[in-house]
Amino acid sequence: MIWANEGNIGRLQLEITNYCNAFCSQCERNYIIELQNETSEERRKPTLDYDIELNNSYLSISDIKKTFLPDRWTHLDEIVLCGNVDEPVINPDVIEIIKYFYHLDNKEKDIWVHVNGGSRSESFWSELGELSKELNNRLTVVFGIDGDEETNHLYRRNVDWKTLQKNWRAYISSGGRAAWQFIVFKWNQHQIDDIKKLSESEGFERFGIIKSFRNKDADNEIDEIVLPKGYERIDRTT
């Protein structure tokens, strides 16, 4: 892998696996799956490579160390394990990867890990929370939660609410810094205030609202997000 002027890069956004436990209704993964099932004549121009395969690989800590050399990546101050088409914590080396990036070139960094929160065990989440505390809370886990037990699964398919709840509680109670990212749809927009209060009562330090840039379902899409005073807005998913 060749990088152009890696010494000048300050913010890195990285997918460290192609595994995911969820089946979110507007995720790019669904279009990849559709393309894999089409014949060459039926294929429309894809947003991602036709030949990509899912749930079969991850970047190991060895891969990371070979690619991100301390003497070349000298200006990194923020790393985002983004979860665009994956669930980063499914990578078995994710904790070692976070530690490596944090200490790369002996300079502290902000690390953001975007998750749906429905995978791994409570003990894993406790360990990750302890790591966040150890890293002076420069590690933040951003949980993508789009409602409550009645509505979160409408978009975050295959994410069990009780498992998710146990996981965020294990993480936060162990000292982890957490943010709650809420995608607004027609079916959950009435919940904004209640969900923000829930996030605060559960120990989340930040609550952000976004409108998905992937939204292709006119029946559920909203044109504008009208936020109550004091709410934070993030303009797109990461």
What is residue 24's predicted lDDT score, i.e. its pLDDT? Answer: 80
The label of the residue with tokens 């990194």 reads 76
Please, which pLDDT band fits residue 227 given cuts at 50, 70 and 90? low
Q: Which residue blocks in 58-191 are alpha helix, DSSP H?
A: 61-67, 94-103, 122-134, 152-155, 161-173
Domains of the chain, residue spans: 6-233
In this predicted model, which residue has the larger pLDDT, 94 or 49? 94
Q: What is the C-alpha to C-alpha distance for residues 137 and 169, in angstroms, rounded to an integer?
A: 16
**pLDDT tens string 141-167:** 999 999 999 999 988 988 999 999 999
What is residue 102's predicted lDDT score, i.e. its pLDDT? Answer: 95
User: Is 144 in contact with 115 (CB distance < 8 Å)?
Assistant: yes
**pLDDT tens string 24-80:** 877 776 666 555 555 444 444 444 443 456 777 899 999 999 999 998 898 899 999
Burial of 194 per CB tally in 10 Å (0-12, 13-18, 19+): exposed
What is the average pLDDT across 215-237?
53
What is residue 26's predicted lDDT score, i.e. its pLDDT? Answer: 72
**pLDDT tens string 97-112:** 999 999 998 888 999 9
**Least confidently predicted of 15-29, 87-101, 219-233:** 219-233
Assign residue 130 a region (left: φ > 0; alpha: ψ between -120 and 50; beta: otherwise). Answer: alpha
The CATH fold assigned to 6-233 is TIM Barrel (3.20.20)
